[in-house]
Amino acid sequence: MKRLVVALLICAVFLWFVVSGNAEEGKLKVGFIYVGPVGDFGWSYAHDQARQIVEATYPWIETVYVEAVPEGEVEGVIDRLINQEGVDIVVTTSFGFMDGTLAAAQRYPDKIFFHCSGFKRAPNMATYMADFHQVYYLNGIIAGALTKTNKLGYVGAFPIPELKRHINAFTLGARRVNPNAQVLVRWLQTSWYDPAGAKEAAESLIAEGADVLAFTEDSPTVVQVAAEHGLPSFGHYSPMYKFAPDFVVSGQLVHWEAIYLDFFAKVYAGLYTSKNLENVDYWWLLREGAVELGADFGMPINPVFEERLKSTIVNDPVYGEISVYDLVFALLKAMADPEYAFSPFTGPIRDRKGNLRVPEGVRLTMDELITMEWAAEGIVGAWPGEPE
């Protein structure tokens, strides 16, 4: 009997060592899974920057990451993160990881899963997204004021609702200050990271007369091509000022850490558990500080373009006679203010086929935003999945 007790004790101590083996005592261990390489200057890079900020901010958190994970392999990588590294929270940062993450969430009901850009949730799986449509609207305003040919070029990776929403916001912004502005669109439809395709698309847009470029793709290629032609462009995802300091006007910057810091703190405090995440869905915008307007952090508009934008005066339906520069900052303030809550998608808005998509005085709901398929007036080019 005595021997049995001793043996059991030894087993218990051993198990305790094994269980608490990897993570440091009392630390929350988080594993990040990226679909791309962290050096892509786009999506995965931005998530990894946020991971580093999180680790530097919270002494009680420890992180690991795995890059360039093929979509079908995500479940195996989650297994390894949990069993090999002993993580408590798994963060999966690609839409294509959705079903694999959900399956893993069901297999590990005590672990917490945080999936970016998807729509499937579980008691232990929350979702999140930092959306740019407000920032694109402001970029559109600037682009509409800068163009001389009235043609803006846009390189998009895939024709999905997210990009359609962003291109629509960009177009609506441009036409607010320049009703003649057109947005010429080229889809890559190859990969989120396709520098060769992006270069080709940017060149062809310029050949067609576009003199301001914006894009959604995970490399700084479009910015570089525009600069070679001496044309202004807008950065995407990470600060792209440094790639063309004289030509990057502004852009969309993300602060994934705003979401991560909030979520992990709530998990650490016990507010979020593996039982109550069914309805936890972050959809964070300017107001929450998850996104930022700028060519670089803290540089909303490149000083090179400041004079030109200050001297361009438009007659705005809301603000009256105002310089484009002031208009951008007025709207930026309005969108960042929780009380004011201006939306670029406030009616009346018609699509390019003439259908009234947003009636007068109505704002689109989040559900309508994330399933958007129509193309706004002023968009030129193919638009796969365009409704009648």
Partner 1 sequence: MREPIVRIARRLEPSPEMVFLVSVGSVIFAFLVSGFLFSFLGIFPTEAYRVFLNGAFGSFYALSETIKRMIPLALIGAGLSVSFQASVWNIGAEGQMLIGAIVGAWVALFSHLPSPLLLPAMFILGFLGGAFWGVFAAWCRNKLAINEIITTLMLNYVAANLVLYLILGPWKGKTVRGFAYTDPFPKEAWLATLGATRIPLATLLLAIIAVFVCYLILTKTTLGFELRVVGRGEKAARLAGINIGRVVSFVMFLSGGLAGIAGVGEVSGIHHMLRHPAHISLGYGFTGVIVAWIARANPLGVLASSFLFGALMSGGDALKVSFGIPFQVIYILNGLVLLFLIASDQLLYYRIIFRHGHQDTREEDYGGVVD
Residues that bind partner 1 (CB under 8 A): 31, 37, 39, 64-68, 70-73, 75-77, 79-81, 83-85, 95-96, 99, 119, 158-161, 164, 189-191, 370-371, 373, 384-385
Cβ closest to partner 1, residue 133 vs residue 175: 133
Cβ closest to partner 1, residue 96 vs residue 347: 96
Q: Are 115 and 90 in contact (CB under 8 A)?
A: no
Residue 230, CA distances (Å) to 35, 149, 154, 248, 376 in order: 33, 14, 17, 10, 28
Query: Residue 73 CB, nearest distance to partner 1 (Å)?
Result: 7
Query: Residue 240 CB, nearest distance to partner 1 (Å)?
Result: 22
User: Distance between CA atoms of 172 and 182, rounded to whole angstroms?
Assistant: 10
Cβ closest to partner 1, residue 24 vs residue 79: 79
Cβ closest to partner 1, residue 121 vs residue 175: 121
Query: Residue 161 CB, nearest distance to partner 1 (Å)?
Result: 5
Report which residue type is found at 100: G
Query: Residue 250 CB, nearest distance to partner 1 (Å)?
Result: 27
Relative to beta strand 248-254, strand 233-237 is: parallel
Which residue's structure tokens are 């705003």?
A: 258
Q: Residue 154, by phi and psi: left (phi above 0), alpha (psi -120 to 50) or beta?
A: beta
Assign 3-state DSSP to the chain and report helix, strand, coil percentages, each to 5.
40, 20, 35
Cβ closest to partner 1, residue 145 vs residue 369: 369
Query: Residue 50 CB, nearest distance to partner 1 (Å)?
Result: 15
Q: Are 252 and 136 in contact (CB under 8 A)?
A: yes
